[in-house]
């Protein structure tokens, strides 16, 4: 028997003229726990919904245990592929135990007595054994999601799909649902989990898929994706990089306008005012220092300021690139501008290649005396 339980070949999904999924191919092995991460609107949830035929693929094929299920009736597939939604989707007019036994009794023809025995055991494992006869609106969001997980498990699916199972929950309830999913990962179940909980994705997954622009941009082990990502889009997402760029083409450029843009960028991400002042000071001083030493009077100038704020690490890197003569301001320079930069930043680097100087530094937030 092949170890591949699910195979996706050139899967595409269009909504009108918009391609949401673009020729995705993937093999899922038995017992794998795959975390799917990526920004909003990158196709993660649509991907899960096509696997369960809640959305019909526009093109491509889906194989379950070697059988092409792309054109099967959805009702048949959903006996084999369970799905847990963001918004629980419990039947409001049924008690928890009635929610759990409805499908096994109706579809799998399990006796009501056997279904109840099975449901009670599952509810006990998720800590809801005292809520069997409660209605969904009598429960917290976390309890409802745990009940939804039990309902999916009642069908003994070959694969479980989780579509951001904690996104609709109050932060205080997220942990209880994640604890249940952690428990399931130890039972050799095959699971695909779309999640925005990065620490959780790293902890439970055997493999991580990073989605961008309707494709699997990068995939690998949790260590590969979270510690050593390769694709620029993965790196930016994992580190939550926010980028600012300002190009300069004349010595008499509008400095106040540039500083205003820097301020707007920093305020957008909640940087404290003292940090913003340091950043603006570093921008001004590196421009002065490099222009004075890389260009002669009357030379045309070409330069660019780049600022990268890494939200996850709370670090702010400033880079300045310009042409002209090779010049490293941190080798021996003792100018006022360099003294100011040394007081506001750290980790200075300089490189000169192909006629371009590139200076970078990490602007520090801690108060330091400028000498």
pLDDT in tens, 2-15: 799 999 999 999 99
May I ask the CATH architecture of the domain 241-363? 2-Layer Sandwich (3.30)
When pLDDT is averaged across residues 154-161 and rounded to a whole number, the result is 95
Q: Which two structure tokens, joined as six digits, stand for 128?
A: 């809801």
- Let me know if the fold of 4-239 is the same as that of 241-363: no
Residue entry with tokens 């409805």:
102
The 10 Å Cβ neighbour count of residue 315 is 16
User: Where are the chain's structural domains?
Assistant: 4-239, 241-363
Q: What is the mean pLDDT of the chain?
A: 91
**Cβ neighbourhood burial of 205 (10 Å; 0-12, 13-18, 19+):** buried
Name residues whose C-beta falls within 8 Å of residue 122's C-beta, 6 or more positions apart in sequence: 100, 150, 153, 154
**Separation in Å, CA 199 to CA 32, 35, 193, 208:** 18, 11, 13, 12
Q: Is the pLDDT of residue 370 over 70?
A: no
From the candidate CATH numbers 1.10.10.10, 2.160.10.10, 1.50.40.10, 3.40.50.300, the one assigned to the domain spanning 4-239: 3.40.50.300
Q: Which residue has the higher pLDDT, 174 or 146?
A: 146
**Cβ neighbourhood burial of 358 (10 Å; 0-12, 13-18, 19+):** middle
pLDDT, tens only, 314-352: 889 999 999 999 999 998 778 999 999 999 999 899 999
Name residues whose C-beta falls within 8 Å of residue 236's C-beta, 6 or more positions apart in sequence: 243
Q: Which two structure tokens, joined as six digits, stand for 283?
A: 């921008």
Q: Which residue has the higher pLDDT, 274 or 11?
A: 11
How much is the pLDDT for 313? 73
Residue entry with tokens 């309890």:
143
How much is the pLDDT for 345? 93
Q: Is residue 52 within 8 Å of residue 159, measured between CB atoms? A: no
């Amino acid at each position: 028997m092949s170890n591949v339980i699910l195979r996706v070949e050139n899967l595409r999904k269009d909504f009108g003229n918009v391609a949401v999924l673009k020729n995705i191919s993937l093999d899922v092995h038995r017992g794998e726990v795959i975390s799917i991460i990526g920004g909003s609107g990158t196709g993660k949830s649509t991907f899960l919904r096509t696997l369960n035929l809640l959305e019909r693929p526009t093109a491509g094929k889906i194989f379950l245990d070697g059988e092409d299920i792309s054109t099967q009736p959805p009702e048949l597939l959903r006996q084999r592929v369970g799905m847990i939604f963001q918004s629980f989707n419990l039947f409001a007019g049924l008690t928890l135990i009635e929610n759990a036994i409805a499908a096994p009794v109706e579809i799998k023809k399990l006796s009501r007595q056997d279904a109840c025995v099975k449901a009670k055991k599952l509810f006990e494992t998720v800590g809801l054994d005292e809520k069997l006869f409660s209605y969904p609106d009598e429960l917290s969001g976390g309890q409802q999601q745990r009940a939804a997980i039990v309902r999916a498990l009642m069908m003994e699916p070959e694969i479980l799909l989780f579509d951001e199972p904690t996104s609709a929950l109050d932060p205080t309830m997220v942990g209880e649902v994640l604890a249940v999913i952690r428990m399931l990962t130890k039972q050799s179940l095959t699971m695909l989990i779309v999640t925005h909980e990065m620490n959780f994705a790293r902890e439970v997954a055997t493999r991580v898929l990073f989605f961008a622009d309707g494709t699997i941009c990068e995939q690998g082990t949790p260590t590969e994706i979270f510690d050593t990502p390769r694709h620029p889009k993965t790196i930016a997402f994992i580190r939550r990089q926010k980028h600012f760029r300002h190009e300069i083409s004349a010595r008499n450029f509008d400095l106040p306008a540039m500083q205003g843009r820097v301020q707007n960028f920093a305020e957008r991400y909640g940087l404290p005012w003292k940090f913003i002042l340091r950043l603006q000071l570093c921008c001004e001083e590196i421009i002065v220092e490099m222009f004075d030493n890389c260009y002669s009077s009357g030379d045309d100038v070409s330069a660019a300021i780049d600022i990268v704020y890494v939200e996850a690490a709370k670090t702010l890197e400033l880079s300045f690139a310009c042409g002209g003569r090779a010049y490293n301001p941190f080798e021996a320079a003792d100018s006022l501008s360099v003294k100011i930069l040394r007081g506001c930043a750290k980790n200075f680097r300089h490189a000169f290649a192909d006629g371009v100087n590139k200076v970078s530094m990490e602007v520090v937030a801690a108060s330091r005396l400028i000498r």
